Amino acid sequence: DVKVTQSSRYLVKRTGEKVFLECVQDMDHENMFWYRQDPGLGLRLIYFSYDVKMKEKGDIPEGYSVSREKKERFSLILESASTNQTSMYLCASIGGNEQFFGPGTRLTVL
């Protein structure tokens, strides 16, 4: 069974903290994505990666960075968390034309 897993389902952090969200896929996919989902705004692309060590900004990269050191792992980093980064974060990888999503991490920044 194909799988995308994320390190945490729920996370609470304080303003200014550095936050790491981890995503692992076991399908040997080249392309991986990080989205945030907010009510009424749909899924907005933060960053994506099309190969190890390769990354490209999405639509809302400000305040975020990413790391792809291994093909199966794609990490999202909030350098200094702020309250407006409270959101649901979804990781995905793509095989053919189908994106496979992880269960999501609901991050609250206090």
Closest to another protein by CB, 16 vs 26, is 26
Q: Which of 10, 42, 62, 69 binds another protein (CB under 8 A)?
A: 42
* Interacting positions 89-108 with another protein (CB under 8 A): 90, 94, 97-104
d(CA 97, CA 63): 29
d(CA 3, CA 6): 10
d(CA 17, CA 67): 18
- Torsion 26-32-34-39 (CA) sign: negative
* CB of 85 vs another protein, minimal distance in Å: 19
Residues that bind another protein (CB under 8 A): 31, 33, 35, 40-45, 48, 50, 56, 58, 90, 94, 97-104
